[in-house]
Amino acid sequence: MSNKLSPVEQLMAIKGEAESIAYDSERDRFNMPHAAETNISNALNANRIVIDGKDFAIATQFPLDQQIEAQLQLLIDNQTPVLVVLASINDIQNNQLIEYFKGSATYGAIQTQSKFLDYVDLDSIIEAKIFNLSVSGYKESLEIQVIHVHNWPDHRTVSTEVTTNLVSLIESKIEQSMTAFKKDQSPTISDLAKALPVMHCKAGVGRTGQTLAAMAMKQFPELSLASIIKDLRRSRNNKTIQTPQQMKTLMELDEMRSKSQAKTQKKQSRSWRSLFGKK
């Protein structure tokens, strides 16, 4: 019997090698210590995700009831262009989670108003709801685009098609928000430079990890999937990208990425040769 690890097992075995903050039931929804060096707030299980030395996103857990004000403060402090919520309706109902990104409410000193804008089909089954969230009462007011993928089950994966469409949707909403920020001229240049999307599912490791990895694969085409996984786990924790099924989807995306890059290089090579070919 062979002890050799399969490709999926090899990627699942990658360690982030980050010093972790110990579990605290007042802060953490699950017993998943998170990385100390990328910790954003002592009140939240939240990390700045760093890919290839560059700030890339913020990953959190779905906030506990008493953490919602701190979560909203996080959004304003980081001039968040897009909030991506990957917790399903079943997650929310079964765990009695507060949909802080919907409706109108007051959390401590912060007031929120949310307006539903649209549905976006990511394929024939998986769907995203789009909201505009207004947050006020702390430092300054902020309009945040919210993407809620409400029917991606916990511990499951979604297809490469859904993952690709979701990444494109997130990127388009980030671009819209950044254009609006610049037009309003309310944030400073330094604020805009640190504006990062904030993402969470329930624990902020499985569905969140798969989506962040897919985003990084697109934005950092020169990086290997293994390198991206290591950076994600160094930034968050070693459960980021939680299941073999989620990892398999990323491997399929990586294979598609490699084929696309090879095709582009071949096309460029042909174009180069045509400049010096015989007429």
Q: Taking Cα atoms as reference points, which of 238, 239, 200, 235 lies closest to residue 64?
A: 200
The values of phi and psi at residue 133, to 5°, are -105, 125
> d(Cα 177, Cα 57) in Å, to the nearest integer?
15
3-state secondary structure of 30: coil
Tokens 């972790």 appear where?
20
- Token code pair at residue 40: 């954003």
Q: Taking Cα atoms as reference points, which of 238, 206, 250, 228 lies closest to residue 62?
A: 206
Q: Which of 83, 110, 170, 201 is catalytic?
A: 201
201 in catalytic set: yes
- Token code pair at residue 17: 């090698």
> d(Cα 217, Cα 206) in Å, to the nearest integer?
16
Q: Point out the residues that are catalytic.
A: 201
